[in-house]
Structure 1
Amino acid sequence: MTSIEKKNDLEKISSDRFNFKKTIGLYTKKWIWFLLSIIFFCVLAYFQIKITIPKYGATAKIMLLSDNDGTGGANALKELSLFSENEEAAIEDEIEVMTSRTFMKDIVKKLKLNTQYFASGRVNEYELYKTNPFNVNFILSDSIADNISYSFYIDIISDTEFNFRVLEEDIPQKMTFGKNISTEYGSMVLIPREDYQGVYTTTIRVQISPVMEIATLLNSTVFVSPIAKSSKVLSIYYEDNVLQKAKDVINTVIETYNVITLEKKNIRSENTVKFIEKRIDSITYDLVNVDNNIVRYKTVNKITDVASEAGQLLASGTQNEQQIDGAKTELRKLNYMTESLGDNSSFSPIPSNLGLGDASISTLSSKYNELLRERDNKLKSAGERNPIVLELNETLRGIKQNLSSSIKNSKQSLGIQINSLQNQSTRLSSKIYAVPGQESKLRSIERKQGIKEQIYLFLLEKREEAAITLTATTPNLKIIDDAYSFGDVNMDGKILYIGAFFLGFLIPFGVIYTKDLLDTKIHNREDLQREIKNISILGEVPRLSKSDKDLVERNDRSVLSESFRIIRTNFDFIIRGREVKNYKNVIFVTSTINGEGKSFFSMNMALTLANTNKKVLLIGADIRNPQVFTKIKNIENNSELKGQGLTEFIVDKSIEVKDVISSHSINNIEIDVMYSGAIPPNPAELLMSDRLEELFDTVAADYDYVMVDTAPSMLVTDTLLISKYAGHTFYVTRAGYTEKEILNFTKEIHADNKLNGMMLVVNDVDQSNFGYGARYGYYGAPEKKGWFSRKKA
Structure 2
Amino acid sequence: MMDINNISKIETSNSFNLKKMLSLYFKQWKWFVLSCFLCLVAVYFYLRYTTPQYSATAKIMLISENDQTSPLAALSDLSPVNSTNAEVEDEILVIKSKRVVESVVKSLNLNVQYFTQGLVLELELYKNAPIDVSFIVTDSLFNAVDFNFFIDINTDTSFEYRVNETDEPIIKSFGENISTYFGSFVVTPKNKNTHNLIGNNYRVKVSPVSSMANELRNKIEVYQSSSSSKILDIYFTDPIPQKATDIIDGIIYEYDIYTTQLKNIRSKNTADFIDSRVQLIASDLVNVDDSIVRFKTGNKLTDVSSEAGQFLNSSVLNEQALTDSKTQLRLLNYMNESLETSGSLKPIPSNLGMGDPSISALSSKYNELLASRERLLKSAGEKNTVVVELDQTLSSIKQSLGQSINNSKKTLNIQINSLENQLSKINSKIFSVPGQESKLRGIERKQGIKESLYLYLLQKREEAAITLTSTAPNLKILDEAYYSGSPISPNKKMMYLASLFLGLIIPFGIIYLRDLLDAKIHNKEDLEKEIKNITVLGEIPKVNARKAEKLLIEKNDRSILSESFRIVRTNFDYVRRGRNVENYENVVFVTSTINGEGKSFFSINTALTLANTNKRVLLIGADIRNPQIHSAIKNQIKPNNSGVGLTEYLVDKSILVGETINTYTINDIKIDILLSGKVPPNPAELLMSGRIKELFDYASNQYDIVIVDTAPAMLVTDTLLISQYAGHTIYLTRAGYTEKQVLNFAKELHASKKLNGMMLVVNDVSQANFGYGAKYGYYGAPEKNSFLKKIFK
Matching residue of 2:705: 705
Partner residue in 1 for 2:484: 486
Give per-residue Cα distances to partners, 1:168-207, cap 9 Å, x unaligned.
4544432112212234554222133259999526222223
Which moves more between the two structures, 94-103 or 691-700?
A: 94-103
How far apart in 2 are the matches of 1:463 and 1:77?
Answer: 27
State whether residues 750 and 758 of structure 2, in contact with CA within 8 Å, keep that contact through their aligned partners in structure 1. yes
Deviation at 1:462, TM superposition (A): 7.8
| Corresponding residue of 2:592 | 591
- 1:661-686 Cα offsets, whole Å, 9 max, x none, are 34444334333333333434443333
* 1:754 corresponds to: 754
Aligned counterpart, 2:764: 764
Answer yes or no: is 1:508 the counterpart of 2:507. Answer: yes
Alignment partner of 1:651 is 2:651: yes
Distance in 2, Cα, partners of 1:293 & 1:7: 117
- How far residue 639 of structure 1 moved from its aligned partner, in angstroms, is 12
For 2:412 and 2:49, locate their aligned partners in 1 and report how far apart those are by CA, in whole Å. Answer: 88
Q: What do residues 279-333 of structure 1 show as CA deviations (whole Å, max 9, x unaligned)?
A: 9999626569989977996799898469x99xxxxxxxxxxxxxxxxxxxxxxxx
Distance in structure 2 (CA, Å) of the matches to 1:269 and 1:255: 22
Deviation at 1:155, TM superposition (A): 2.4
Matched, 1:541 2:540: yes
Residues 569 and 299 of structure 1: CA distance in aligned 2, closer, same or farther (over 3 Å): closer
The yes-or-no answer on 1:495 pairing with 2:494 is: yes
Aligned partner of 2:692 in structure 1 is: 692
**Does structure 2 retain, via aligned residues, the 8 Å contact 1:12–1:529?**
no
SS of 2:126 mapped into structure 1: coil
Q: Which residue of 1 aligns with 2:556?
A: 555
Q: How does 1:377-416 map to 2 (within 5 A)?
A: none
Contact 1:610–1:670, Cα closer than 8 Å, also in 2: yes
| Cα pair distance change 1:228/1:790, threshold 3 Å | closer
Pairing partner for 1:148 from 141, 145, 148 = 145
- The answer to whether the aligner puts 1:733 opposite 2:733 as a matched pair is yes
Give the CA deviation at 1:760: 0.9
In structure 1, the residue matched to 2:62 is 64
The alignment of Structure 1 onto Structure 2 pairs a total of residues equal to 640
Corresponding letter in the other structure for 1:256: E
> Which residue identity lines up with residue 284 of structure 1 in the other structure?
R
CA distance in 2, matches of 1:626, 1:143: 95
Deviation at 1:96, TM superposition (A): 1.8
CA 1:97 to 1:641, structure 2 compared with 1: closer, same or farther past 3 Å? farther
Cα 1:207/1:678, change in 2 over 3 Å: farther
Out of 452, 473, 476, which is 2:474 matched to? 476
Aligned to 1:445: none
Change (3 A) 1:186 1:623: farther
Give, as a single letter, the amino acid of the residue that structure 2 aligns with 1:212: S
Q: CA RMSD in A?
A: 4.0
Between 60-69 and 589-598, the greater mean CA deviation after superposition: 589-598
SS of residue paired to 1:539: strand
| 2:330 matches 1:284 | yes
C-alpha distance in 1, partners of 2:411/2:531? Answer: 116
Alpha-carbon distance in structure 2 between the residues aligned to 1:702 and 1:553: 25
Classify the secondary structure of the residue corresponding to 1:89. Answer: helix
Asked whether 1:234 is paired with 2:232, we answer: yes
- Deviations 1:693-722 (Å, cap 9, x if unpaired)? 011112222333221111222333221221
TM-score (norm 1): 0.72
- The letter of the residue matching 1:478 is K
Instruction: After TM superposition, list the pairs within 5 Å mapping 1:414-433 onto structure 2.
Output: none
The answer to whether the 8 A contact 1:16-1:530 is kept is no
Over 3 Å counting, the alpha-carbon distance change for 1:89 and 1:657 in structure 2 is same
Cα deviation, residue 506, structure 1: 1.6
- Tell me the CA shift for residue 272 of structure 1: 4.8
Residue 42 (structure 2) aligned to one of 38, 41, 44: 44
- How far apart are the structure 1 equivalents of 2:721 and 2:454? 123
Cα distance, 1:218–1:298 mapped onto 2, change above 3 Å? closer
- Alignment partners' CA distance in 1, 2:331 and 2:65: 32
1:119 matched residue in structure 2:
116
Structure 2 length-normalised TM: 0.72
Percent identity between the two aligned chains: 53
Q: Is the 8 A contact 2:267 2:468 kept in 1?
A: yes
2:570 is the alignment partner of 1:524: no
Matches within 5 A, 1:165-180: 165-168=162-165, 170-180=167-177
Distance 1:139 1:300 in 2: 75
**Paired residue secondary structure (2:719):** helix
Alignment of 1:141-290 (within 5 A): 141-168=138-165, 170-193=167-190, 199-200=196-197, 202-273=200-271, 284=330
Alpha-carbon contact 1:107-1:256 (below 8 Å) kept? yes
Match of 1:669?
669
Q: Which moved more, 1:651-660 or 1:63-72?
A: 63-72
Deviation string 1:410-444 (CA, Å, 9 cap, x unpaired) is xxxxxxxxxxxxxxxxxxxxxxxxxxxxxxxxxxx
Do 2:178 and 2:186's aligned partners in 1 also have CA atoms closer than 8 Å?
yes
2:245 maps to amino acid: K
| Superposition deviation, residue 10 in structure 1 | 3.5
- The letter of the residue matching 2:145 is I
Q: Are residues 723 and 130 of structure 1, via their aligned partners in 2, closer, same or farther at CA, if it must alter by over 3 Å?
A: same
The answer to whether the Cα contact below 8 Å between 2:84 and 2:229 also exists between their aligned partners in 1 is no
Give yes or no for contact 1:8–1:537 (8 Å, CA) kept in 2.
no
Residue pair 1:78, 1:84 contacting (<8 A) in 2 also: no
SS in 1 for 2:127: coil
Shift of 1:482: 0.6
Per the alignment, in what secondary structure is the counterpart of residue 52 of structure 2? coil
Shift of 1:770: 2.3
What is the CA-CA distance between 1:235 and the residue it aligns to?
Answer: 0.6
In structure 2, what is the equivalent of residue 139 of structure 1?
136
Aligned to 1:9: 7
Cα deviation, residue 484, structure 1: 0.9
CA distance in 2, matches of 1:30, 1:720: 42
For the 8 Å contact 1:590–1:712, the answer to whether it is kept is: yes
Structure 2 Cα separation of the partners of residues 643 and 278 of structure 1: 137
Q: Are residue 683 (structure 1) and residue 683 (structure 2) matched?
A: yes
How far apart, in 2, do the equivalents of 1:299 and 1:53 lie? 84
* Deviations 1:130-162 (CA, angstroms, capped at 9, x unpaired): 111122233334444334333332222455322
Q: Could you say which residue in structure 1 is the equivalent of 2:295?
A: none
Q: d(CA) in 2 for partners of 1:611 and 1:151?
A: 90
Distance 2:257 2:185 in 1: 31
Residues 25 and 508 in structure 2, CA contact (< 8 A), matched pair in contact too: yes
Instruction: Check conservation: 1:684, 1:718, Cα contact below 8 A.
Output: yes
- Structure 2: unaligned runs, 5 residues or longer: 281-327, 335-408, 430-452
The DSSP-based 3-state class of the residue aligned with 1:767 is coil
CA spacing shift, 1:293–1:80, aligned 2, 3 Å = farther
Q: Does the 8 A contact of 2:6 with 2:535 survive in 1?
A: yes
Partners of 1:229 and 1:279 in 2: how far apart? 47
Mapping of residues 287-302 of structure 1, within 5 Å:
none
Paired letter, 2:223: S
> How far apart in 2 are the matches of 1:258 and 1:644?
112
Q: CA deviation at 1:472?
A: 0.7
Contact 1:284-1:456 at 8 Å conserved across structures: no
| Structure 1, gaps ≥5 residues long | 310-454
Letter in 2 for 1:598: K
1:65-103 deviation line (CA, Å, top 9, x unaligned): 10114999xx89989996863331121122122223443
Preserved contact between residue 119 and residue 203 of structure 1 (Cα < 8 Å): yes
Partner SS for 1:26: helix
By how many angstroms is 1:251 displaced? 1.0
CA separation in 2, counterparts of 1:638 and 1:267?
Answer: 121
Q: CA deviation at 1:741?
A: 2.9
